[in-house]
Structure formats: structure tokens, C-alpha cells
Amino acid sequence: MRTVFLYGGLLALLLLSFGCSTDSPQSTFDAAGYVAKSQLTLFWIIFGAAAFVFVVVEGLLLYTVIRYRWKKGQAEPAQIHGNHKLELLWTLAPAIVLAVIAVPTVMSIFELSTPPDEERLEITVVGHQWFWEFEYPDLGIKTSNELHIPTGKVVNLTLNSNDVLHSFWVPKLAGKQDIIPNRSNELWLIADEPGVYFGQCAEFCGIAHAKMRFRVIAESPDEFDKWAKDFLRPSVAPKGMASQGAKLFNEKGCIACHTIQDNPIARGNIGPSLTHFGLRNTIAAGILEKDEFGENLTKWLTNPEEVKPGNIMSRDGIIYNDTKMTMTNKDVAALVIYLGSLKPDINKEPIIPGSSSVPSIALGEVPEPESGNKVNGEALFSSLGCSACHSIGTDALIGPGMSGLADRASGRVEDLSAGQYIYQSIIDPSAFVVSDFPDNVMPQVFADMLTDEEINDLVEYLKSLK
Ligand code: CUA
């Protein structure tokens, strides 16, 4: 019986020890930066104090149990009530232990609550159901799911939520910080060594919470600067299958939710930014590795629901919901090639954000659009990706359905004809946002992109939808 207990106990210890691996990708024992290291030091101090108390208390207990155990024929021992010395001792001893824990804990809390007063990189993090958006306001960079940082530099993160509670956690670099809607929290960290650090959301935020991961890619300052500079360069121009993919990206409505800096109509902000997606190592918020032949990306685009249940792309994306828009295997292949090709063209100069000209609106009377070509308008409606947000029936997608638009548009604004109303809505999408539809979703680019003739064609086509 004894041996059974002995071996059973040893086996249990062995099994428990498997949980204590120190080299797993999210182990806090392998701290790789100042913040994580100081939190780890605190852990060891508290662990040491707890271990000391455990050994002393259990030791005394065992000693007493064995030394003073009942012996045959022994009379009942003397009954003691109250002992000032002992009571003083077991009040003071825990107080000292608590002080040992409290002093470094409070010092660490104060130290880690605000970043040190030195040059730092500011990054805004936005938690979305279920991906991460990273914006570098001083560098003009916005990317998703892979956070590039320079080593040895203080990185200050401002954490915001687009929807519900999330929590930002890169175990090897810093502790968790909650992300709360309508509130900005902050967290700072430093990475000592270049490397890829795993991160994940640590607050239940809905069905795909466990699949809301990310990577922190720490690079030497030189490599980081190169990455940041290259990020502002336009992508390599798509060729062959990639250019077919670029066309599909618009037509299949991907632009309604995703931003690609080089594509003037891809300004969606519902899904992650895909600018220079070809540089990424992972897909779908760190769930899948990006393999050389695009197998995982194909899997993701073909059936996103299988990879990340509950994701918004499969729920709302028109290609997954309207059988007329479903992609063929060839379409998927073209998109995979296009997305993989989105890498900076080092022969092109970086575009400093804010330097591009803002669409200028001429002052004067609103012109009545000239009559256009309906067939051309229909082709434009499809090639510009309008159908991703607007059905040509009455169904409301992201934007209103277009059927009967002419009737609704005429007279909505005093003295504005249906044609003028539609024309204005194309060149200035936030001019008349219909209530219950989001503002700032439709790209503000058509004024620059389209010729007057093309806009007239579009208006003509839209007016014809009864
Ligand atoms: Cu975001 Cu859990």
C-alpha cells in the first residue's frame, strides 16, 4: 500500500512539473525585456517569501505532530489558554513577511505605471473582435496583427477598444493590460533582444477570443528604421495573376472592410489593414503561419469560418453570403497571389503621409450631371466594388440598397435633383449619410479617381435602378 502511495505521489509530481516548462513561447519565466524582468523578479521575491513561510510552518507542524504525538498510557496534557509571547510572535512574523512583499510590489507598481522619461516610440493599439490594429502616429504607419518594435527602446502603447473588453498581453515582454471601450489605457515595454514574441488577447471578448493573437517582432534599431521607411513605399505593381487578384479585391468587395494603402478605393476599417500584407508571417490574427505556397491563406479565404469561428469576414463578407459573388478556386488563387505580392517596391520613394493633395471642391453652383452611359455605369459599379456595400435591390448591406434611389434622392435635399444628389454623394460620400448607416466607410476618393464622364455614367446607371 505504501509503495502505491509513494509511486503515485512521484508520478503526480512528475506530471505537475510538465506544466512548468520554461521555454514555451508564452512563458513568463523567460523574460526578454526590462518590464517583464522586473515583474519576474517580483514573482521570485513573493515566491521566496511564500516558500519560506511554507517551510517554517509545515516544518514546525510536522515536528510538533511527531515529537508530541500521543503515546500509550499518556495522560491528557496541560491545557493552555493564551500566551502573550507566542501571540506577539505570530502577529509580528506575518507583518514582517507582508512588508517584505509589499515594499518591492508597491515600488514596482509605481515604476511600471508610467514609462521612463526618455525618448520613446508611441504606438496606438486598437483591439477589435478579433484582430489587432497597430498605428504609429509619428511614423504614419498603420498595420495589423504584427507589431514591429526596435530593441532597447521604450515603446509606449496606448490601448483602445473598437468594441468590447480585450486585454493586451505579450508574456515575455510585459504583464497584461485591459483594453476598455471608451477609455485609453497605457502599457510600456522594452525588448532587449531581437526576436518574435507571442502575444494574445487575455480577456474574454466573444467567440473567437482564443484566436485573437498577435506577434511582436523586435528588430535592431537599424532594421526597424528600414522596415518603417519601406512601409511607406508603394507596393510592387501587381502583374499577371496578381493583377487579376487586385481586380477581384475590388469587385468582390474586400475593399469595403480592408485598407491597402496603394489602392485608393481600399479604405475599409472593419477588418485589418492589409497594406504590405506580403511582409507578414501570419494570417488571421496570428492563427496560421503564412506558408510559402499560400496553402494556409487559401484555406483562410476559402472557408474563414473553419479557421476562426464567428469571424466577421465570413459573417458579413458578401462573397461568403451571396452565392452570385462566391469565389472560384481560381479567384482565390489570384487573391492569394495578389495579397502575397503586396510588398514595398524599393525602387519607389516612400510617400510621407499627409503630403498627398486633398481633393479640392470647386465653389459655385451644383451642376446638373449630364446624361451618361448606363452600361458604362453598370460596369463601373462592379469594377469599383460598389456592390460590396450596396445591393442593387432594396437590401441594406453596409450601405443602403440602390433600388429606387432616384425617387428617394429627389427632394431629400431642398432644390437638389436626384442627379445632383447622387453626383454629390459619389464625390463627397459624407455629404448626405442616410441615418442608421455608418459615416466614413465609403472611400472619399472617387472625386479624384473618376472623370466627370464616368461619374455621369454612374449616376445614369444608379438612376435607372427601379
Ligand atoms: Cu479580445 Cu479576447
Instruction: Classify residue 2 as exposed, middle or buried by CB count within 10 Å of its CB (0-12, 13-18, 19+).
Output: exposed
Which atom number of ligand 1 is nearest to the Cα of residue 127? Answer: 1
**Per the structure block, which three cell numbers stand in for 43?**
514573482
CA 362 vs. chain centroid, Å, equals 39
Q: Which residues contact 106 (CB under 8 A, 6 or more apart)?
A: none
Query: Of residues 151 and 446, which shows the higher confidence score?
Result: 151
Span 389-405, average pLDDT: 83
Q: What is the band of 430 on the pLDDT scale with cuts at 50, 70, 90?
A: low
Q: What is the band of 63 on the pLDDT scale with cuts at 50, 70, 90?
A: very high
Q: List the domains of the chain with CATH numbers.
A: 241-340 (1.10.760.10), 363-463 (1.10.760.10)
127 in contact with ligand 1, CB cutoff 6 A: yes
CA of 431 to the centre of ligand 1 (A): 35
- Answer whether 197's CB lies under 8 Å from 169's CB: no
Give me the pLDDT at residue 466, please.
Answer: 82
pLDDT digits (tens, 9 = 90+) for 108-159: 999 998 888 889 999 999 999 999 999 999 998 999 999 999 999 999 999 9
Q: What is the band of 253 on the pLDDT scale with cuts at 50, 70, 90?
A: confident
Span 17-46, average pLDDT: 83
CA of 178 to the centre of ligand 1 (A): 10
The CA distance from 215 to 23, in Å, is 17
Q: What is the band of 361 on the pLDDT scale with cuts at 50, 70, 90?
A: very low
299 in contact with ligand 1, CB cutoff 6 A: no
CA of 156 to the centre of ligand 1 (A): 20
What is the pLDDT of the chain when averaged over all its residues? 85
Which atom number of ligand 1 is nearest to the Cα of residue 179? Answer: 1
128 in contact with ligand 1, CB cutoff 6 A: no
- Residue 84 clears pLDDT 80, i.e. is over it: yes
Instruction: Using a cut of 0.95, tell me whether the model's pTM lies above it.
Output: no
47 in contact with ligand 1, CB cutoff 6 A: no
Span 243-256, average pLDDT: 87
**Per the structure block, which three cell numbers stand in for 141?**
504607419
**Per the structure block, which three cell numbers stand in for 339?**
495579397
* Closest by Cα among 318, 315, 296, 316 to 307: 296
Give CA separation, 167 vs 36, 96, 116, 129, 356, in Å: 16, 34, 22, 12, 36
Query: Of residues 388 and 105, which shows the higher confidence score?
Result: 105
The CA distance from 182 to 203, in Å, is 16
The CA distance from 278 to 292, in Å, is 11
Span 159-168, average pLDDT: 95
Query: Of residues 199 and 374, which shows the higher confidence score?
Result: 199
Query: Which stretch of 43-52, 75-84, 357-366, 389-398 has the lowest confidence by average pLDDT?
Result: 357-366
Q: What is the band of 19 on the pLDDT scale with cuts at 50, 70, 90?
A: low
CA of 129 to the centre of ligand 1 (A): 7
Query: Of residues 64 and 372, which shows the higher confidence score?
Result: 64
212 in contact with ligand 1, CB cutoff 6 A: yes
201 in contact with ligand 1, CB cutoff 6 A: yes
Query: Residue 268, SS3?
Result: coil
Which atom number of ligand 1 is nearest to the Cα of residue 129? Answer: 1
Instruction: Kindly report the protein residue whose alpha carbon is nearest to atom 1 of ligand 1.
Output: 166
- Residue 256 clears pLDDT 70, i.e. is over it: yes
* Closest by Cα among 183, 142, 136 to 159: 183
Q: What is the band of 263 on the pLDDT scale with cuts at 50, 70, 90?
A: confident
